[in-house]
A and B are shown apart, each in its own frame.
Chain A
Amino acid sequence: MKTNYPQRNKAGFTKWRTAMVTIIIFVIVFYLLSLVKLPLISVASPLWKGENKATLSLANVFSFFSSKSSLVRENQELKLALQSREAERLAYVGWQEREAELLGLLGRKGENEGVIASVIAHPPQSPYDVLIVDAGTSSGVLAGQRVRMPEGPLLGTIVEVSSSNSKVGLFSSSGNETNATLERNNVSVILVGAGGGMFNISLPRDVEVEPGDRILSADMSASLLAVVGDVSLKPTDSFKVVKAKGPTNIFNTRFVLISQ
């Protein structure tokens, strides 16, 4: 008697086996590589520093040959300087006096002391809202410390530290929630990071908010976190959708201040 056995699908079986082997290897390699992620940053940092230097040098070379290009560059630098001054102005509106007064009353020290660090990698190199800075534990940097612009506005916190580099997680990272205060009426809000230096806030429709309003950190320092850019409200909605942007352009930040 002849028996017909079903043919085994060898090609399909091989693919399943490859998939399973891949997943197992992924888990093992993933675990091993997660142990060496900080050294990876140390390996990459000379490349980032070299890139920054090369970018500046190339800019100088081209400006020598082209007056139009140099004018464009100068224009960009002036825009950056203006942006920096604007951030500084926004951060300092009544801030210094208020902080000195309050801290004096409470007998506490200010947060102006810290470590200045150079940004060696920033978005759009990073798909996340992350800065890599060239100061690490050897400079006294610790995980959890706050990172701000030298002009005052808060940017984020130190999330990972190696001996010579640190990773800064920006408040604007997608989905990141930060407690804050809307300065206009001292309403507590939750800033939800939207990536690219942008934030979203949801507010009850009765709360008054206008473009240009400042959003401050909820702690005692009340540092500038964001500025309201756009407010949208549909007639049927109970909540306003507020879009805010960070006080500085994270795509060309060059220096940050790391403080307690």
Chain B
Amino acid sequence: MLRVITVIVLVLSIVLLPYWLYLPALVISMVYFRLFWEGIALAFLVDALYGYGTWFSHYQFSVYALIIFLILLPIRDNLRFNA
């Protein structure tokens, strides 16, 4: 339930709030929740709404989110909290 609420809050934040609020919140959510693949979709939403230009500059946050997701995959279980 907390996960769903987080996603809804993040979607609204992406549309309405400054990026310096929703981008850190997105990263924290990806660290906090196990296999938070929604983070990649939310990063894609950021890119779809605001990105433009060449492929990487258009979709850079999606790629960063994927990288964070993949980095967290092996180390996530060793963190000292569980969600």
Contact = CB atoms under 8 A, between A and B. Distances in A.
B70 to A, nearest CB: 5
Interface stretch (A58-66, A126-134, A144-152, A231-239): A126-134
Interface string A1-29: 00000000000100100110011011001
Interface string B30-74: 000001010011001110111111000101011000100110011
Contacts of A22: 37, 40, 66, 69-70, 73
A71 interface: no
Contacts of A121: 49-50
A36 B44 CA distance: 11
B70 A169 contact: no
Interface string A163-194: 00001010001011000000000000000000
Given A124-B20, A125-B17, A29 B51 contact: no
Nearest to A54: B16
B45 A40 contact: yes
Contact of B35 (A18, A123, A132): A18
A47 B48 contact: no
8 contacts: A15-B74, A19-B70, A22-B40, A30-B62, A33-B48, A51-B15, A121-B50, A169-B52
A207 B59 CA distance: 38
Given A44-B15, A124-B20, A37 B48 contact: yes
B19 A18 contact: no
Nearest to B20: A124
A23 B35 contact: no
Nearest to B61: A127
B16 A125 contact: yes
A48 interface: yes
A180 B19 CA distance: 30
B27 interface: no
Contacts of A18: 35, 73
Contacts of B35: 18
A48 B66 contact: no
Nearest to B69: A22
Contacts of B74: 12, 15
A116 interface: no
A19 B73 CA distance: 7
B15 A48 contact: yes
A134 to B, nearest CB: 14
Given A33-B44, A40-B45, 14 more contacts: A15-B73, A30-B44, A33-B48, A34-B59, A40-B49, A44-B15, A51-B15, A51-B16, A124-B18, A126-B50, A128-B52, A159-B53, A167-B50, A173-B53
A160 B61 contact: no
A159 B19 contact: no
B23 interface: yes
